[in-house]
């Protein structure tokens, strides 16, 4: 029995160390001109070091996919106008995207991809924007 428990503990530790998970709100409804936060939290089992993290947010409408934000190894950050990430929050495993003053052009499917060293995970969020 004891032997079994020890083995189980080792197994769990190993599988956790290799896993990165992204947690999103899959569907968000917003009103036009509102500021909207697309939540994207990731789990981490090692000490977070911004130098090893890449965050990519893309926006897809139909077959067309465009980059919204890219945060690259702590030394490069670029977001299209009206969108932002918080570097302070990324260091707390929160890669949420803030969209200011949304319009119908912001409707569509968003992906939040987090890469930490060789681990990679993606979450998808669908944003609907309706008039007042």
Residues that bind ligand NAG (CB under 6 A): 27, 29, 33, 37, 41, 86, 89, 94, 96, 98, 101, 103, 128
Of 9 and 33, which has the nearer Cβ to ligand NAG? 33
Of 90 and 116, which has the nearer Cβ to ligand NAG? 90
Name every residue whose Cβ is closer than 8 Å to that of residue 113 and which is 6 or more positions away in sequence.
22, 54, 55, 56, 57, 58, 120, 121, 122
Of 81 and 118, which has the nearer Cβ to ligand NAG? 81
Q: For residues 48 and 37, what is the distance between their CA atoms, to the nearest angstrom?
A: 23
Least distance from C-beta 85 to ligand NAG, angstroms?
A: 7
Least distance from C-beta 93 to ligand NAG, angstroms?
A: 9
CB atoms within 10 A of CB 59: 24
18 and 118 Cβ atoms separated by less than 8 Å: no
Least distance from C-beta 101 to ligand NAG, angstroms?
A: 4
Least distance from C-beta 37 to ligand NAG, angstroms?
A: 5
Q: Please compute, for residue 41, the number of CA atoms within 13 A of its CA located in the half-sphere on the CB side.
A: 4
Of 9 and 91, which has the nearer Cβ to ligand NAG? 91
122 and 110 Cβ atoms separated by less than 8 Å: no
């Amino acid at each position: 029995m004891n032997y079994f428990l020890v083995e189980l503990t080792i197994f769990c530790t190993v599988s956790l160390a290799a896993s990165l998970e992204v947690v999103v709100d899959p569907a968000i409804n917003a009103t036009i001109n509102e500021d909207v936060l697309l939540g994207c939290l990731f789990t981490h089992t090692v000490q977070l070091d911004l130098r090893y993290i890449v965050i990519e947010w893309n926006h897809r409408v139909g077959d067309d996919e465009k980059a919204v934000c890219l945060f690259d190894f702590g030394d490069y950050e670029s977001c299209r106008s009206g969108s932002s990430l918080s570097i302070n929050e990324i260091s707390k495993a929160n890669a949420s995207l803030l969209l200011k003053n949304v319009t119908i052009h912001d409707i569509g499917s968003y992906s939040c991809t987090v890469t930490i060293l060789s681990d990679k995970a993606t979450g998808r969020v669908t944003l609907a924007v309706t008039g007042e």
